Amino acid sequence: MDTLSIVLIAIGLSMDAFAVSVTNGIIIKDIRMGHALKIGLYFGAFQAFMPIIGWLAGSRFEEYIISIDHWIAFVMLAFIGGKMIWEAYGAEKDEIGTVEEMCEVAVSNQNTVCQDPLRIGRLIVLAVATSIDALAVGISFAFLRVSIIKSAALIGLITFAICFAGVYAGNKCGCLLKRKAEIVGGLILICIGLKILIEHLGIIG
């Protein structure tokens, strides 16, 4: 897998975290760089760590499924991308509620302690919830024999940068970006999955 594909996957994976960062930006009234740095670091770190766990797990089974590795990568990326698009249209998220609901709560409860976006416990829960998809992608990386250290570093850095910007975007633009971000991210992952499948089937070079 080339570097451009990994970058695009990183962008796609980061859209969930970006949407949550936008919501956090709404909650913070007096935004400072330290706020955006803290949020970006948490999301970036977990997004980088999860693919490594997935890669380690996937490596154990690589020899048994090498003949269908491209199909597994396609199904995983297409499923993750489709799930992101579905959730963007209103399906409930597992532990943290829909991004739509988070924005509504954020706007109406900006001064409540329970909505403090910088609380470590809250950041960890959100970072884990938005990085589960990266674990699945890490499994597909193992099957495709991708360099995991380089890939995880790229995913973490790109997620950090996008979430850092997302905090400021949320502070300025409210909830306007959250749904589009998840749709774009889902489409990117589906397209990358198709690219992997087509290349391995020999349809294109």
**145: phi then psi, degrees, rounded to nearest 5:** 55, 45
Which residues fall within 8 angstroms of residue 2, CB to CB, at 6 or more apart? none
Sequential DSSP letters for 134-158: HHHHHHHHHHTT--HHHHHHHHHHH
Residue 141, by phi and psi: left (phi above 0), alpha (psi -120 to 50) or beta? alpha
CB atoms within 10 A of CB 61: 14
Q: Please state, in angstroms and as integers, the Cα–Cα distance from residue 109 to each residue in 17, 63, 104, 121, 177, following that order.
A: 21, 52, 9, 18, 20
Tens of pLDDT along the chain (205 residues) come to 788 889 999 999 898 888 888 878 877 878 889 999 999 999 999 999 999 999 998 887 766 666 666 777 778 778 877 877 787 776 444 444 444 455 554 445 444 434 566 888 888 988 988 888 888 889 888 878 888 999 999 999 999 999 999 898 887 775 556 667 777 777 887 887 787 778 767 655 4
Query: HSE of 78 in the Cβ direction (CA atoms, 13 Å)?
Result: 11
Any idea what the Cα angle at residue 156 is, between residues 59 and 146, rounded to 5°? 30
